Amino acid sequence: MLDDFLVRAALAGLAVACATGPLGCFVVWRRMAYFGDATAHAAILGVALALAFSTSIYAGTLVVALLMALTVASLAGRGWAMDTTLGVLAHSALAFGLVAVSFIPGVRVDLSAYLFGDILAVSRMDLAVIAGGAAAVVALLVWRWRGLLTATLSEDLAHASGINPGRERLVLTVALALVVAVAIKVVGALLIAAMLIVPAATARSLARTPEAMAVLAVLIGGLAVLGGLQASLHWDTPAGPSIVALAATLFAVSVPVAGMLRR
């Protein structure tokens, strides 16, 4: 079954949707959209470094994404103007990454595979890494759910309940870096943030509790993956952008549907 590249692509996409669903909810609740963007853009620098040192792309992106996320989180803690800081860091990391790739001798790198993803080229090995990474993120979020949710509602409330909000922030930062590393092959660095935000935003108008929103975000993300792959085969469009385009369409449909449900 795994011999079929389409099956591998679908499974990889579904695994990513399982991780981006709940994590995307936190990104939306905590208004970290730009933070996700910065982390994802930094991944291109990770790709360049991985190619230069001939190490695994996943390891390279994970390390650089993690460094970026930790830098941003510590700057935020010191009261920097986040909007500007993120804008500077995100796009510089992307630019440096693109420049660094051009220096790599003798390698003709198809950068668009990393910018927009190459889900149809997912190998068995890739699938194992993606599924393992996604499972780790889901396990991490389930384990810390109580603390994460309390700290998201109010840091003071968390403190008073014996929960350290700084630790929960770190958990999200690590989870975000992990998701970026595993999703870069599926939707690419430029669209990872979309996979985080769009399904969660779609689920928002249909859910009444945080848990329901997280589960719905997974289902919507999964639907976008399967439908987007179909569409990309049918019309011969790039797979990653097709997935995100379908997710965006679902979002547009969800708004009037939620309005009707409330009535």
Partner 1 sequence: MSLIEARNLTIRHGGAPVLAHVDFAISQGEIVTVVGPNGSGKSTLLRALLGIQSLSEGRVMRKAGLRIGYVPQRLHVDPALPITVRRFLSLPDRVDDHAAAEALARTGVAELGGRQMVGLSGGQFQRVLLARALLSRPEILVLDEPTQGLDQPGVAAFYKLIEEVRRDIGCAVLLVSHDLHVVMSASDRVICLNGHVCCEGTPRVVSNAPEYRALFGLGTGGALALYQHVHDHDHDGHDHAHHHSQRAADA
Q: Which stretch binds partner 1 (CB under 8 A): 68-76, 77-85, 208-216, 221-229?
A: 208-216
- Over the range 144-162, which residues count as b (16 or more CB within 10 Å of their CB) and which as e? beebbbbbbeebeebeeee
The single residue listed with the structure tokens 């399982």 is 18
Question: Which C-beta is closer to partner 1: that of 55 or that of 161?
Answer: 161
147 touches partner 1 (CB under 8 A): yes
Rounded distance between C-alpha atoms, residue 212 and residue 180, angstroms = 24
Q: Is 34 left (phi over 0), alpha (psi -120 to 50) or beta?
A: alpha
Measured from the CB of residue 263, what is the shortest distance to partner 1 in angstroms?
16
Is 150 a binding residue for partner 1 by CB under 8 A? The answer is: yes
Instruction: Name the residue nearer to partner 1 (CB basis): 10 or 217.
Output: 217
CB of 164 to partner 1, least distance (A): 10
Query: Alpha-carbon distance 216 to 222, whole Å?
Result: 10
Q: Which is nearer to partner 1, 64 or 148 (CB)?
A: 148
Measured distance CA(178)–CA(171) in Å, rounded: 11
Taking CB under 8 A as the criterion, the residue among 212, 252, 253, 257 binding partner 1 is 212
- Give the up-direction half-sphere exposure of residue 17: CA atoms within 13 A in the CB hemisphere: 26
Site residues (CB under 8 A) for partner 1, limited to 152-191: 152-154, 156-161, 163
Which CB sits closer to partner 1, 81 or 156? 156
Asked whether position 262 contacts partner 1 by CB under 8 A, the answer is: no
Does residue 20 bind partner 1 (CB under 8 A)? no
Q: Which of 49, 138, 149, 218 binds partner 1 (CB under 8 A)?
A: 149
Judged by beta carbon, residue 91 or residue 146, the one nearer partner 1 is: 146
- Residue 28-47 contact track with partner 1, rule CB under 8 A, x = bound: xxxx----------------
Q: How far is the CB of 215 from partner 1 (least distance, A)?
A: 12
Question: At 6, which amino acid appears?
Answer: L
Contacting partner 1 within 94-133 (CB under 8 A): none
Which bin fits 154, alpha (ψ -120 to 50), beta or left (φ > 0)? beta
Q: What is the 3-state secondary structure (H, E, C) of 101-148?
A: HHHCCCCCCCCHHHHCCCHHHCCHHHHHHHHHHHHHHHHHHHHHHHHH
Of the candidate residues 180, 213, 231, 247, the single one contacting partner 1 (CB under 8 A)? 213
Torsion angle (degrees, nearest 10) of CA 183, 185, 186, 192:
40
CB of 214 to partner 1, least distance (A): 10
DSSP 238: -
Q: Which is nearer to partner 1, 30 or 104 (CB)?
A: 30
Tell me the one-letter amino acid at 156.
D
Note the residues at the interface with partner 1 (CB under 8 A): 28-31, 146-147, 149-150, 152-154, 156-161, 163, 201, 204, 207-213
